[in-house]
Amino acid sequence: MESSSTYFSGFSLNDLWYLGEAALRTLWISVLAISIGSVIGIFLGLALSVSRVVAFTLGTILDIFRSVPLIIQLVLFFNFAPIIGLRLNPFEAGLIVLIVYTSCYVANVARGGIEAVGQPMRRAARSLGMNYWQDLRYVVWPIGLRAVFPAWVGVALGVLKDSALVSILGYVELLKASQILMTRTQEAILILSIAGAFYFALSYPISYYATRLEQRWSQ
The nearest distance, CB 163 to another protein, in angstroms, is 32
b/e 162-191 (16+ beta carbons within 10 angstroms → b): bbbbbbebebbbbbbbbbbbbebbebeeeb
Question: Which residues of this chain interact with another protein, rule CB under 8 A?
Answer: 120-121, 123-131, 134, 138-139, 142-143, 146, 217
End-to-end CA distance of the chain: 49
Quick one: 81 or 145, whose CB is closer to another protein?
Answer: 145
- In whole angstroms, the minimum distance from the beta carbon of 121 to another protein comes to 5
Residue 52 or residue 87: which is nearer to another protein going by CB?
52
Compute the least distance from the CB of residue 130 to another protein, in Å: 6
Nearer to another protein, 74 or 148 (CB): 148
Minimum CB distance to another protein smaller for 32 or for 145: 145
- DSSP H/E element including 3: none
CB of 45 to another protein, least distance (A): 19
Q: Cβ(77)–Cβ(97) under 8 Å?
A: yes
Largest CA distance in the chain: 72
